Structure 1
């Protein structure tokens, strides 16, 4: 991730628009961000963090406080940050929520919500990606591979925070490391193991509760039985009475319940035998009482039948006479119906004659008149199709007239169109010759335009080649300069080594051995050197290798420069050095001529196509006019023939209408007359049939009266009863007969015969009091037997229940074994994962993973701390057990390589603490970068702390920081130390004033 540009307005201490070009500022890889205290150095970093993540670190996260107090009331706070990540370039614009003055002169403020705009530079232009705060934030976090907490710890190295981290306890380090490395999944695993252990213990507890409930239920069942279960359990060593094992206790209760069941069943059987004896006595007494009661009731019913015998005989005789008269009912009803039909037919004939007279129709002979009318209707109905044909002829004649008018109008219109087509064709033919001359130059214009375009492209390539020549020359010059410096460095080291050659020889001298130069075996004063021989030789060798590498680079760049110059020369020979404006004018003129020629060719093709279309239209119009003339002659001939047919048919049908509007109107009048005549004829025929029926009915009645025993029809009618009376008498007679049969059957039954015999010998049933006492005695016996049977049933149910509980208890006790073992295992695992139980270091799984990360951070930090402390200090992770049972595993200590002592980080001095915390921050940045999947961090900021260093320590720290810019990385240092201002030429100065702060970039002095 590299930051290219930052724009700030009405944000923090900056009232006006401030623009910072980080590409220009970080051209040398290292720049200084300085300014007076309170000017706004940290606000620049806050603006970067706000643009990327929508919030700032620390206590400044209140969005309303981000707006500058120096800005005007209507100025909108805004931060724009242009950056690149993963090979893509983005621009994010954010505005925090702020209070804007109300519009339209109203007092007060209106809250403006926070806004975000994320754009990406693709295809040579900016394309909008998102305007939603959450979407833009999520995409930026994914691009950078870090959240805000990681960004402020990795890209913006807060030295003060890491000094506190360096001295903090393990528990305090845990929170920061967990945020940076995202080890929440291991903590979640600890919690998951704890929940699984708790769930397993809950399962065991549930199963054990089930066992206790089964035992309690068995005790309750046995307690309801009221029996004693076996002997007491033996006493324990301390005199207690623990009771038998649950399985033995259940077996004892089941045995006792079986013994109680046997006793209760014996008592219930004895009580049931006594109950049956009393029941037999009661049943015999009740049956004798019922027999005598039925005998007395039967005697009363027999006496009632004797009293009603005379009335029943009279009703039976009346029903007999009614039955004889009912035999003549058919003849009597037939005679009545015939008389009624004759009367109705007579009235109907009179009404029909009256309607016929009212219609003024001839009623002399209705039948003959009806036949004549029917004949006329048949003739008219046969001619109905002719009337339809007459209407069709009239419609066809009208359609021919309309078609003739339409045809005449179409002919006139087509004649006018034909004239217009011919005039338009003549005009288009006159335009062809000029257009053909202009279109003939199209090929020549295309060649001229293509040649001019190629020349323009060659000029552009020539300009690019010149830039490549300049760039290659600049890189070659810089490489040559660096190579000369490396050569001089190598030569200096070589000269120094030559000057120290005596020291190298002296270093090889041994006491008692001769000198290879003078031959003496005594060495009173060997030569001394500033550096040891082997070290100087190695340094000279390394310098020589660097020089050879740089010399090869110079040669390679010289080849690139020559190739670029040759490419430029070739393009110049092709016309690349021509005047661009002249060539551009030539291209514009050629393109204009080409456009004119193309337009003429296109117009010529259109004119020719139009002439062709007009020729086709003219031919079609002439054909249509000829066809219209032929159709007109045929239509006139057809109209004349149809007119003659219409006149002849009209004359014939007028005679048949007889003055009516149509044949159907004449037929409707005749149909009404036909209906009246038909009514008279039908009424006459109906009357004749009714008189015949009356004669037949009178004759049949006269023949049937003597056989039925009646002298006349009136005598038979008097004996007839209405249906209700006949039904009542019939029901009375039938009920009397049925009651007589039932009484006779009763006296023949075995019970009444026995009762009659008992009454004759004086054996009568018990009195009511004696019978009631016998009933009460039998009831008491029944209740006693039922209670004993219920007690035996309760004992049987208790035996079954105890057997079922004992079986279920044994199965449940076996089933709880595995869950209990699993709960024990999960509890031990959860305790180990959270650092409890037998974990002597009190180190949880999360702490264990973070300890490994902290060890990597300490190793990475030690690489830089060794350089900063002149090889004295390294940082080392320690998992020493913490005091008083505190959690262990995240300890840090400093190793003093000069003394070999391991020291607590709190014993470092101010400058040493700064170097250690800065190294720790840089090491953490490297490890987090690797952990984030290799995200490139090309821009770093280091905030304050340099004032605590002496001159030598500052020099070593600066050397380490300058090493960070290897590989194109840009490092920004936030400080107001004077020595750093002199050392770092690229600077961003923040100046404060009464109207807000401003920024100013000091250019680096590039030689």
Structure 2
């Protein structure tokens, strides 16, 4: 990795823009970064780190403090770094977040977010790679092969940090080494081994829990047997205890089975005794029930005789039930007909009183409505029918007049519609007149505004051309700026090409001079015995010049340098041609107005676009206004036509209304005679229809009354003729003995039940059980009441005992089976757990060894072991540097000596004094010795980390401060060691303000401090 150029703007102490040409510094291999304290030497290194990784090391990582306090208020802080690595060329530009003054207020600020631009030079052209902070950082980290922490310890050697590392304890070195070498994967291996060991231990614990659970199940299974465990094996001998439990449970099961058989025999004996006593008691109870039923039947015999007599009289009267029922029904029908006739008469009187036109109804209503006399009823019926005929004749006449009444209604409705239409026509006339007036006013206003629009519309083409010209000027200004930038870039290329050509030419001339100085030796190296000399032609070569071993190499180098000089000269000529083309393009663009100020050109273009847009809008508005004017003229004409049509329709409608109203008046007079005081013919017809219905109902009611009276007389005659034959002298005596149907059915059922009970009692006393019970009572007397309950209690006790002993026997047998299964499961599980136990023991041992526990004497974990190997490599690499710096006296050596008080070991470091052969702690070194050791350690660590990072070639290296602690001899030795770092083209920058360093190193990057901020200046042999 080589840094070519660094540009710093408003960053740290640098208020303006500072540029550092690292290619110029690199030409000398070793340069000094110096300046007074606080000037900003470290800020230069911070700027490099920020450009590459977006942050700075140490406590200065707050992005808001990176902006220079000396910079102008609106100046953007930015760092740009151009570098190459792995054969690729990049440029990264970063700006931290900062508060930019707001453009809308005097005191406000706007937060500007951090931004990044990463570009790569491909085939001579910059190609943008990324504009995101994270993507650019990932790309740079991948190219450099180092993260920020590794970069600040490998490229920028912080001498103070390594001095602390040199003096720290072994355990404190772990963090730095791990961050540099990235050994987190070994910690992950330790964690994975611990996890697997924990899982294996958990698996074994689960197996043990299952075995303990099986043993507990066995104990619980035999708990109900209450075994004597005095001689049983304890819980440590699980197999022996399981076998003992199984044997004892089998013995207990056999004992309980014998007890269950004896209890069952005892229960059977009690059951037989109880059955015999229960059967005798049941027979005695049936005998007592039969005796009670016979006594009850004998007591109810007289009552049954009376009920039989009552039922006989009912059967006789039941023969006359049809005639009696007919008389009752006829009398009831007659009463209903009389009531209906009276209601019809009242309704007839009410209808006659309500309508004066129907006076004949009142006459018909005076007739006898009760129907008590035949002549009177006949006269009333005839009168009713006469009135009905008259009403029907009048109704026929009224029906003929209904169409005229409908016509009158139609005329009135038409009058109302015409009146409503007349109002609408008048409103339409007024609206048309208002619309016409409004349209005329709008037309006048529109005509007044056409003139300004016509003037603007006439300038459309002119203003559009002016806008196009202004746009072309903006483009031309941009092209001129780009061309000028390109020209500057080509100028820089020409400078670099010229410098390169001069260097190659000078190199070629130096080699040529060296070759000429050694021309005799070169010619002498070509002489051969017997071969003529190319200069004198002699075949004798008595005193040839001493041949130099490098003569041929110098000649070859001189030819190569000449070829390189020619190539550089051709490249310079090509760049000069490119510069001429670029300058010519700048001149052409300047002649076309490219030198116009960009802001002026942009403002002129905006103004021209606005003027053109204004003219275009005016042309559009003019076209729209003219179209609206034409439409207004048509709408005004249409509004006039609509007003005239409305006036004509109003006159015609008024004439029609007058004619309709005259027809309605004449028709109204003719219909009033037919209505006879009613509002309408329909109402008069409805009144007549109501009266007709009343008369018809009255006629119907009178006919029904006459029919009912006839049927009542016929029913009475039939009943009087049937009474003597049934044995009754009157209808009342027959009704007195008649019973309701349900009462008669109940009497008949009681009589039949008494007869059936007597028959069943006879059968009961003839049965075998009752006969045997009577004989037992005569012989042995009645059974005592408490014998059966006592026997039942004895039987129930025997039954419970038999059930309990059977249950205990079954449980004991089941326990034997369960214990057999538990023992088999226990043996299988114990056998299956052997392999997991062995695996767990192995994993625990490996995990303990990996994390430095257990039998690990040094308590060195796997991660520490790997870092110890890396530290051993670092000590070897550092010793090579320290030997030269200390005149061969000191070397660094890694030690894994066991730490005191059981602390972790493996990262020890000690210094070996080769003059005395003694080893001692690094903390015993003096200040100068400590600086040399820490510097050697930093360089050695950089070499090892470089190898571990995939062989990244670090071509630029910075060493920070600490030289002031060295004496003159030590400083000489350190400088020799640092001079050696330049081998292979490496560039070394030393950060120091020691005066002697300024005298020894001619190429310097000077940081100049001032009240308005710091500036940078490169001083070398060519330019002091």
Tell whether the 8 Å contact from 1:51 to 1:79 is kept in structure 2 after alignment: no
Distance 2:592 2:747 in 1: 147
- Find the counterpart in structure 2 of residue 175 from structure 1: 175
Deviation at 1:642, TM superposition (A): 7.6
Aligned ranges 1:238-257 → 2 under 5 Å? 246=239, 254=246, 257=249
- Find the counterpart in structure 2 of residue 311 from structure 1: 303
- Find the counterpart in structure 1 of residue 162 from structure 2: 162
1:910 aligns with 2:927: no
Deviations 1:696-726 (A, max 9, x none): 3564466468477665554455456789988
Tell whether the 8 Å contact from 1:864 to 1:919 is kept in structure 2 after alignment: no
Q: 1:287/1:621 Cα in 2 relative to 1: closer, same or farther (>3 Å)?
A: same
Distance 2:790 2:444 in 1: 142
Aligned ranges 1:731-880 → 2 under 5 Å? 743=761, 746-760=764-778, 762-764=779-781, 766-768=783-785, 771=788, 774-775=791-792, 777-779=794-796, 781-835=798-852, 844-847=861-864, 850=867, 865=881, 869=885
Distance 2:854 2:171 in 1: 19
Distance 1:662 1:871 in 2: 154
- Find the counterpart in structure 2 of residue 394 from structure 1: 415
1:290 to 282, 288, 300: 282
Deviation at 1:24, TM superposition (A): 5.9
Deviation at 1:793, TM superposition (A): 1.6
Tell whether the 8 Å contact from 2:963 to 2:971 is kept in structure 1 after alignment: no
Aligned CA-pair RMSD? 6.6
Distance 1:425 1:211 in 2: 106
Q: Which consecutive residues of structure 1, in runs of 5 or more, have no partner in the other structure?
A: 10-16, 72-76, 96-114, 124-135, 234-240, 506-515, 521-525, 992-996
Aligned ranges 1:395-474 → 2 under 5 Å? 395-398=416-419, 400-402=421-423, 404-405=425-426, 408-409=429-430, 412=433, 463-464=484-485, 467-468=488-489, 470-474=491-495
- Find the counterpart in structure 2 of residue 275 from structure 1: 267
1:553 to 568, 580, 588: 568
Instruction: State the secondary structure of the residue aligned to 1:1004.
Output: strand
Distance 2:549 2:286 in 1: 149
Tell whether the 8 Å contact from 2:882 to 2:891 is kept in structure 1 after alignment: no
Instruction: State the secondary structure of the residue aligned to 2:113.
Output: strand
Distance 1:333 1:309 in 2: 39
Deviates more, 1:798-807 or 1:885-894: 885-894
Distance 1:769 1:430 in 2: 138
1:667 aligns with 2:662: no
Deviations 1:487-514 (A, max 9, x none): 5765787699899999x99xxxxxxxxx
- Find the counterpart in structure 2 of residue 236 from structure 1: none
Q: 1:48/1:251 Cα in 2 relative to 1: closer, same or farther (>3 Å)?
A: same
Distance 2:600 2:60 in 1: 60
Tell whether the 8 Å contact from 2:881 to 2:936 is kept in structure 1 after alignment: yes
Tell whether the 8 Å contact from 1:848 to 1:889 is kept in structure 2 after alignment: yes
- Find the counterpart in structure 2 of residue 112 from structure 1: none
Deviation at 1:280, TM superposition (A): 1.0
Deviation at 1:565, TM superposition (A): 1.6
Deviates more, 1:895-904 or 1:686-695: 895-904
Distance 1:157 1:679 in 2: 133
Q: 1:573/1:204 Cα in 2 relative to 1: closer, same or farther (>3 Å)?
A: closer
Distance 1:48 1:769 in 2: 119
1:348 to 332, 343, 360: 343
Deviation at 1:405, TM superposition (A): 3.4
- Find the counterpart in structure 2 of residue 211 from structure 1: 211
Give the number of aligned pairs.
921
Deviates more, 1:762-771 or 1:716-725: 716-725
Distance 1:54 1:196 in 2: 40
Q: 1:232/1:634 Cα in 2 relative to 1: closer, same or farther (>3 Å)?
A: closer
Instruction: State the secondary structure of the residue aligned to 1:805.
Output: helix
Q: Which consecutive residues of structure 2, in runs of 5 or more, have no partner in the other structure?
A: 26-30, 82-89, 100-109, 119-131, 362-386, 527-539
Distance 2:747 2:974 in 1: 144
Deviation at 1:284, TM superposition (A): 0.5
Q: 1:774/1:40 Cα in 2 relative to 1: closer, same or farther (>3 Å)?
A: same
Deviation at 1:546, TM superposition (A): 7.1
Distance 1:661 1:91 in 2: 112
Distance 1:655 1:487 in 2: 147
Deviations 1:126-178 (A, max 9, x none): xxxxxxxxxx9989986886998668757875432223334545543333344
1:1001 aligns with 2:1015: yes
- Find the counterpart in structure 1 of residue 105 from structure 2: none
2:113 to 101, 106, 118: 118
Q: 1:367/1:722 Cα in 2 relative to 1: closer, same or farther (>3 Å)?
A: same
Distance 1:651 1:872 in 2: 153
Tell whether the 8 Å contact from 2:32 to 2:1005 is kept in structure 1 after alignment: yes
Normalised by the length of structure 2, the TM-score is: 0.69
1:563 to 575, 578, 597: 578
Tell whether the 8 Å contact from 2:521 to 2:551 is kept in structure 1 after alignment: no
Normalised by the length of structure 1, the TM-score is: 0.70
